[in-house]
Structure 1
Amino acid sequence: MLKWLLTLIVALTVLTLCVPWLRKFGLGRLPGDITLRRKGRDYYLPFTSTILLSLALTLLARLI
């Protein structure tokens, strides 16, 4: 359980650091992705982008 939690935290940290770079390619601006702006802060909820990346990684893993 601890191993999965650590993996999830590391994956979320890497994804969060890559968000500005991924937005240049259109991820985070797809229909279904939500951007909230409150009190000078931006909150990204990339639902559609997450599903798209998950499908792409699943297909890649199955091919390898």
Structure 2
Amino acid sequence: MSPSLMKMWVSLAAMGFMFISILMIYLSRYKLGGIFKALTAIIAYFLMIVSGIIIVLVVFSGPTSD
């Protein structure tokens, strides 16, 4: 697999993490209560931070030459 294709899949996974975290934040704010609310919020914000770091690394790693 070429480095460009690998970067594409990694950034796609990061965008998937962002989408999942948005859904989990919505669930934790409006649909859940108690310990489930806190647990889903913690997981959601962790995924959001991880996806942000991945996107920054992909963008600042520069273009690939194949």
Return the TM-score normalized by structure 2. Answer: 0.37
Return the TM-score normalized by structure 1. Answer: 0.38
Greater per-residue strand proportion: 1
Instruction: Indicate the structure whose relative CO is greater, using CA pairs within 8 Å and at least 6 residues apart.
Output: 2
User: Is the radius of gyration larger for structure 1 or structure 2?
Assistant: 2
